[in-house]
């Protein structure tokens, strides 16, 4: 697959090869060749939900056919981490499908992805190859949320360094707090449970009763069960399976009210949809990693993984390696505090290796606040990454709004990132610039709005006396 230099080159990354440009160039070549073949990929996820992606590749006998492999491999990669799935059905030639299948085998270079999906869905990961006509039809599912904050609700947001709680009565936040905690260092999940329960009780003290609880947390949650989460990274696997997976199911039973917990990126998108009074919203959180969430055209949460941290946005063969998955060019290295730390030395900024990642980010942001041009280059580079990444995401999401949040976007750094992203869209993707608006949250919404938005999640059926 041919790579293409971007029109706007990130100031600290001359080697950046945006995935969106390579994909568009490949598809244009397929159409111009007059020798195309259909490609259909279906992914089956939880409860029989099926996502389907249809496209074209070169027909098997043309000279460009060998470029199909890289295109399809990268396409499947983004579909897996955007939509999720334990079963993949590829409608293409047998030889191409078998090559992809080998990559996800135990000895393949995508074994991490296969094992991760097995952990999420608790089923063996499989890839099947068939004719494009035999691929299953789409059966998408969504998570509706309360359009109004009726009743008495508690919302919580579990971050890596703080736990946010909000009590909401008939749409008014009557109590909110942000409590420091250190979940990632704890091996005993009793620590997490007690902190969450204590926060819920403090919120409940400010309401006449509790009708429902909604939660936002880092990680992957399916039907309110914890599948993967950095909040519990130090909990041994056996204890995780015994006491963490169903922690929120148990909390729901103990409180005796509806409880819904989802990924923090999804609640970020929900907060954006509520504040903007709009749908088709993609939330992108630039925190310790990159988180994503999407509100569809009907105003519901798409029940996809939206794990954008693992989606490759740079196809340069020497792109930085993601330390977890081992793959190159993944979003976590471009749209998070990891990007700030990676780029700072390129700008001539010397970081203290004894500092935590959050402290390093704060150091670079403090330099920016003092007018340091080196720090500005860091965030201008991230803004370029953001613009090309949004254009890439727009190939897979129906977008009208993008909400950018997280510590890396706080203050002037967020303004610079948004300005550069807009510049990329206006100069390189005008059709997207004309329909997609880029937003940054206000400071109050940034700090405590996530917990209040999470309170919207449970759908309540209230008696007249309760509402």
The rounded distance, in Å, linking the Cα atoms of 309 and 249 is 27
Sheet-wide strand order for 172-180: 172-180, 162-169, 152-158, 212-217, 259-263
CA angle 340, 70, 341 (to 5 degrees): 5
Q: Are 37 and 46 in contact (CB under 8 A)?
A: no
The rounded distance, in Å, linking the Cα atoms of 80 and 390 is 18
> 120, 136, 56, 47: which is closest to 88 by C-alpha?
136
> 290, 376, 421, 320: which is closest to 15 by C-alpha?
320
Residue 61 is given by DSSP the state T
The rounded distance, in Å, linking the Cα atoms of 285 and 308 is 10
The rounded distance, in Å, linking the Cα atoms of 376 and 368 is 6
Residue 7's SS3 state is coil
Phi, psi of 58 (to 5 degrees): -70, 145
> 28, 76, 87: which is closest to 53 by C-alpha?
76
Residue 379's SS3 state is helix
Q: Which residues pair with 304 in a beta bridge?
A: none
The rounded distance, in Å, linking the Cα atoms of 46 and 86 is 8
Structural domains in the chain? 34-140 (no CATH), 142-467 (3.30.420.40)
Instruction: Transcribe 194-242 into DSSP letters.
Output: HHHHHHHHHHHTTSS---EEEEEESSEEETTEEEE-GGGTTS-HHHIII
Taking only the tens of pLDDT, the chain with its 467 residues reads 667 789 999 999 999 999 999 999 999 999 999 999 999 999 999 889 999 999 999 997 778 888 999 999 999 999 999 999 999 999 999 999 999 999 999 999 999 999 999 999 999 999 999 999 999 999 998 877 755 678 999 999 998 888 999 999 998 999 999 999 999 899 999 999 999 999 999 999 999 999 999 999 888 998 899 999 989 989 999 999 999 999 999 999 999 999 999 988 888 888 888 888 889 999 998 988 898 999 999 888 888 999 999 999 999 999 999 988 999 999 999 999 999 999 999 999 999 999 988 899 999 999 999 999 999 999 999 999 999 999 999 999 999 999 998 889 989 999 999 999 999 999 999 999 999 999 998 654 554 478 888 998 887 755 544 44
Q: Where are the alpha helices (DSSP H) in 256-406?
A: 264-276, 337-343, 357-369, 373-393
Q: Are 304 and 266 in contact (CB under 8 A)?
A: no
Q: What is the pLDDT of residue 465?
A: 46
Residue 414's SS3 state is helix
Q: Are 146 and 458 in contact (CB under 8 A)?
A: yes
Residue 126 is given by DSSP the state E
The rounded distance, in Å, linking the Cα atoms of 8 and 424 is 7
Q: What is the pLDDT of residue 81?
A: 96
Q: Are 466 and 210 in contact (CB under 8 A)?
A: no
């Amino acid at each position: 697959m041919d790579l293409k230099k971007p029109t706007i080159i990130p100031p600290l990354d001359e080697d950046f090869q945006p995935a969106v440009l390579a994909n568009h160039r490949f598809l244009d070549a397929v159409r111009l060749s007059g020798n195309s073949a259909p490609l259909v990929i279906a992914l089956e996820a939880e409860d029989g939900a099926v996502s389907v992606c249809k496209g074209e590749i070169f027909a098997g006998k043309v000279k460009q056919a060998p470029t199909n492999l890289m295109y399809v491999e990268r396409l499947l990669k983004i579909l897996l981490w955007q939509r999720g799935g334990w079963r993949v059905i590829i409608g293409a030639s047998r030889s191409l499908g078998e090559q992809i299948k080998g990559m996800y085998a135990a000895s393949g270079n995508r074994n991490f992805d296969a094992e991760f999906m097995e952990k999420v869905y608790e089923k063996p990961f499989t890839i099947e190859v068939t004719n494009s006509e035999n691929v299953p039809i789409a059966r998408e599912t969504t998570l509706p949320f309360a359009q109004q904050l009726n009743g008495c609700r508690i919302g919580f947001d579990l971050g890596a360094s703080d736990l946010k709680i909000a009590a909401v009565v008939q749409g008014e936040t009557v109590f909110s707090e942000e409590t420091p905690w250190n979940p990632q260092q704890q091996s005993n999940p009793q620590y997490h449970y007690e902190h969450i329960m204590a926060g819920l009780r403090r919120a409940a003290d400010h309401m006449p009763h509790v009708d429902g609880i909604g939660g936002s947390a880092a990680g992957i949650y399916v039907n309110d069960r914890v599948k993967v989460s950095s909040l519990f990274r130090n909990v041994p696997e056996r204890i995780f399976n015994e006491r963490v997976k169903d922690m929120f199911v148990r909390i729901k039973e103990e409180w005796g009210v509806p409880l819904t917990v989802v990924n923090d990126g999804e609640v970020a998108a929900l907060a954006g949809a509520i504040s903007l009074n709009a749908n088709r919203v993609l939330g992108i959180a630039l925190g310790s990693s990159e988180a994503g969430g999407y509100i569809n055209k009907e105003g519901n949460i798409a029940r996809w993984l939206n794990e954008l941290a693992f989606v490759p946005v740079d196809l340069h063969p020497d792109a930085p390696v993601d330390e977890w998955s081992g793959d190159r060019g993944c979003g976590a290295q471009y749209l998070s505090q990891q990007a700030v730390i990676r780029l700072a030395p390129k700008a001539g900024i010397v970081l203290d290796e004894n500092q935590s990642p959050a402290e390093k980010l704060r150091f670079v942001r403090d330099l920016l606040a003092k007018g340091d041009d080196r720090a500005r280059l860091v965030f201008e580079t991230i803004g370029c990454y953001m613009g090309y990444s949004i254009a890439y995401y727009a190939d897979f999401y129906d977008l009208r709004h993008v909400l950018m949040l997280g510590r890396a976007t706080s203050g002037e750094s967020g303004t610079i990132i948004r300005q550069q992203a807009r510049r990329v869209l206006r100069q390189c993707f005008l059709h997207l610039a004309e329909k997609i608006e880029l937003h940054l949250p206000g400071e109050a919404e940034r700090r405590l709005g996530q917990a209040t938005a999470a309170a919207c999640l449970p759908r309540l059926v209230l008696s007249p006396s309760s509402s």
